[in-house]
Each structure stands twice: as structure tokens, then as C-alpha cells.
Homo-oligomer: A and B are copies of this chain.
Amino acid sequence: MNKDLRIRWDSVQKLLVEAGSDACLISTNVNIYYLTGQVFTGFLYLPAEGKPVFFVQRPLGWDSEQVVSIRKPEDIPGLLNERNIPLPENLFLEEDQITYSEFVRLEKAFNPARTGNVSTILRQARMIKTPWEIEQFRISAVKHAKAYHEIPSVFRKGMTDIEFQIEIERIIRKHGSLGIFRVYGRNMDIFMGSVLTGDNAAQPSPFDFALGGAGLHPTIPIGASGEIVREGTSVMIDMAGNFTAYLSDMTRVFSFGELPQEAYRAHRLSMDMHNRLMEKAGPETSCAEIFEWSIQMAEKDGFAANFMGTAQQAKFVGHGVGLEINELPVLMGRSKDRLLPGMVFAYEPKFVLPGIGAVGNENTYLVTDSGIEKLTVFEEDIINLLPPTP
């Protein structure tokens, strides 16, 4: 872990140097965890060169060489002086994550000649995963698959989507889910993932997830809406793989009885897209290209109007995953990113079919030196929840 942290410090420090920054100050939970291996309330001071200092407000009584206790951020400049660490002239702050008031307070406390944005640097550094991080995805993905294996055992005829989801939540928690499900951006809310059945899959949501769903209440308008899972409809299950701090992302489709043939055709198309990705993608593949050929394959098979939603269609077919569910790169038309070894991303070509529901899989892939490797290994066909007894 310590060796791995050093890799992360190095990659951020390299980007700080390139950006002409002397140091950055980090205080958001995800970035604190990324750079220290734990969440605390306080600040990580990472100079462009040299060792970081952990300035900790809470918890109290944490004894370590790297830890300096503080009451408030205004204590930091004096403590840096005491340690003969020069105050930064060009201080980078998490401008896309901390509040305006926090920024103003920190800028006043440090009074640097210039400031810059370390949020973008962290997003970029976190895009390439370290060996320890990749291992965390593997652990999560294995548990994720084991949990999904139990899903059919809790389905009962007459259940609502949310009743089904609650039983799935319990399975996932019992397999070690940490519950917390981090999303980048202030305005994206979801609770543990999404279970979509029938036409609820077509409901637009205010949030920028792949699909929507009306949700149970106007305060969280996403996902399951309380409707009964009807025979002949699909149930798309996209529940969080948060078994470590690193999220595996996996969607599978279940059905109550047999679905119309159209559903199997569209689902087969999603599987073909995944197969094509496995064959063609690897280092230097353009993210925009993956998006483009996914759209083209949907068009060719006559499913363009169903691809990534109907009334409201998502403008991406995949996204990086990590400590947050929506990291870089984004597989979208205007992405400039190319796949690079160490990236971990979810690919989720999905179709919404009126009267049936959503179909299509989502898998999490690791970019290796020579191609991509599927981390979420689990049955990919549509799974019939209540097959006829022979």
C-alpha cells in the first residue's frame, strides 16, 4: 500500500510540475482516500516535490509521523513555516469540488500569488489505475458476480421492482458491499444502483446516468418506481459493486418468463458490441470511436431509436470507474481520450424497448498492455427468473 501511494503521489506531482504549480491542498473524501489510503477530515498538503503532510482535524488522537493535528485550515501556513517548507506561490485547489466559500477561505489563509485547479489533475491521475487499485477492482468484481448469482433466488411473482431491489440490496450487503456509492458531481443522486422493469426504463431522469426511471419520490427521481414486475417484461439490474473502495460496474438483464423476440435480438446486439470491444479495443483506441461504432451498430440493426434510452438518450456508452462511478475517460462522441494501459472503464450499450423494458449488458474492463480484460465475469444471456418447471 505505501509503495502504491508513492506511485499516486508521483503521478499527481508530475502533473503539478507540468502545470507550474508548487503545491496542492486536498480535502475532498475521494481525493484524500486516493492519496492517503483513508478518509479523514482535514487537508493533504502535497508539494510538487517532496513528501506530503497530512493535516488532520478529525479523528482526534491519530499518531503517525506524517500526521499533524490542526483545528482549522488557517493553522497550516504557520505549521509549514515551522517545518521549513516554503509557502506555495502557485497553489492548486480542488476548484471543481470544494465550495466557493471554502476556496475563498483557503485562498485567504495561504495568500498565494496564483491559484490553479487540482481537480482536473486528480481526475487525470486517477484515470490510470495502480497495481493495488486494479487488485481492488478484481476483489470487487468477484464478489459482485457472486452476489448477482443469488438474484433469481429472491424473486417472487407479484413483487414490485422496489421489493425485488430491497432483496438484492440485502444480498449485495451480505457479500460485503460498503453501501456508500460515490458519484462525481454535486447533483447526481442514486441509492445503491438501479432496478428497472418494463416501461419505467424509459422514464427520463434529471441525472446523467445511462438510463433513468421515475423513482419512488420527487426527491430522488431515479430507478425503481414501485410497479409490479409483469410477466413478459425485463428487469435490468445495475446495482453497485462497492465491495472495496473501487467500484465495479455490471448490468445484467433478467426476465419474468419469456420476452418477445425483439428483446433477445437487441440483447444479442449488445453482446455483439461487447464482443467487438473485446476484439478491437486496447491501448490507443479512441473513446469517441467506440461511441461512434456503437451507434452505427445500433443503427444498422434498426435499434437507433432505442439505444441508451428513448425519450431521453444518454450521450455516452461507457465511462471510467474507480473511487467514483463516473470517472474518466468517458466513451462519448466529443471525447479526446484514448484508452491507455491501467484504465478501468464500464461499457454499457443498452436498449429501451417499449412495452418490454431495458436490455443489454454492462461490463467493467481493464485496459492491459495488449488489449482489454473483462473484470465482471458472469452469465451474459438474459436470465429467466421464473422458467417453466419441466
Contacts and interface: CB of A to CB of B under 8 A. Distances in A.
Interface of A: 27-29, 33, 37-42, 57-61, 93, 95-104, 117, 119, 162-163, 166-167, 169-170, 173-174, 178-180, 186-187, 189, 191-192, 204-208, 212, 216-221, 244-245, 311-312, 323
Contacts of A221: 38-40, 59
A60 B311 contact: yes
A41 B100 contact: no
A244 B191 CA distance: 15
A57 B188 CA distance: 13
24 contacts: A29-B186, A29-B187, A39-B219, A41-B187, A41-B206, A57-B206, A58-B204, A58-B205, A59-B312, A61-B312, A93-B100, A95-B101, A99-B100, A100-B103, A162-B173, A163-B174, A166-B174, A169-B169, A170-B170, A178-B219, A217-B244, A218-B245, A219-B244, A219-B323
Most chain B CB within 10 A, of A117, A167, A180, A192, is at A180
Given A166-B174, A178-B216, A204-B60, A187 B38 contact: no
Contacts of A207: 41, 58
A97 B186 CA distance: 9
B220 A179 contact: yes
Contacts of A312: 58-61
Contact of A59 (B28, B38, B212, B220): B212
Given A59-B212, A180-B189, A217-B245, 15 more contacts: A28-B187, A29-B186, A33-B218, A38-B218, A39-B220, A40-B206, A58-B208, A60-B311, A61-B311, A96-B99, A99-B100, A169-B173, A178-B217, A179-B191, A180-B219
B97 A99 contact: yes
A256 B41 CA distance: 33
Contacts of A95: 99-101, 104
B166 A33 contact: no
Lowest 6 A-B CB distances belong to which pairs?
A: A179-B191, A59-B204, A38-B218, A219-B245, A100-B103, A41-B206
A60 B202 CA distance: 12
Contacts of A323: 219
A212 B61 CA distance: 14
A234 to B, nearest CB: 22
Contacts of A100: 93, 95-96, 98-100, 102-103
A244 to B, nearest CB: 7
A312 B61 CA distance: 9
Contacts of A39: 189, 206, 218-221
B186 A28 contact: yes
Contacts of A99: 95-100, 186
A93 B245 CA distance: 33
A219 B181 CA distance: 11
A26 to B, nearest CB: 12
Nearest to A181: B191
